[in-house]
Amino acid sequence: MRRLVAILLALAGPALADRVEPVRVIRPQEVIAPGDVILREGPETGLPGLDAVIGQEARVALYPGRPVRAGDIGPPARIERNEVVPLVYVQGALRIETEGRALARGGTGEYLRVMNLASRVTVTGRVTEDGRIEVSR
């Protein structure tokens, strides 16, 4: 009986589910539109479906016939590299605001390194919805 179960499991192969594939070449830093992707049956890629991909930004080039993986996409960049952005530090009643230069691109919720323009010190902070960088300890 055990042998039969082992043989059946070996023959079963990978589980099939719907996977998201691009219908055209999507270049890095392009935001994915509804007409850019379709669902196809294939091996599981870790993405829940079209809703998880549409509106996201391609981190790498995406090619037709290849599934979109979770690491291939991310939130659209809110801040561009070398952009001057407001830096905000808040702790209790203390609030410090200054300007910094972004050292990379980043989307809402991502952490970026930013150079404080006043002190020339590099700090790390989280990108907010309104394009600010929240710096914490």
18 and 70 co-located in one domain: yes
Q: Are 125 and 135 in contact (CB under 8 A)?
A: yes
Q: Are 26 and 55 in contact (CB under 8 A)?
A: no
Does the pTM of the predicted model rise above 0.95?
no
State the Cα angle at 78 between 29 and 27, rounded to 5°. Answer: 5
| 8 in a structural domain | no
pLDDT in tens, 62-113: 999 899 988 899 889 999 999 999 999 999 999 999 999 999 999 999 999 9
Q: Is the pLDDT of residue 41 over 90?
A: no
Mean of pLDDT values over 38-54? 81
Q: Which helix (H) or strand (E) holds 7?
A: helix 2-12
19 and 67 co-located in one domain: yes
Residue 95 belongs to what domain range?
77-135
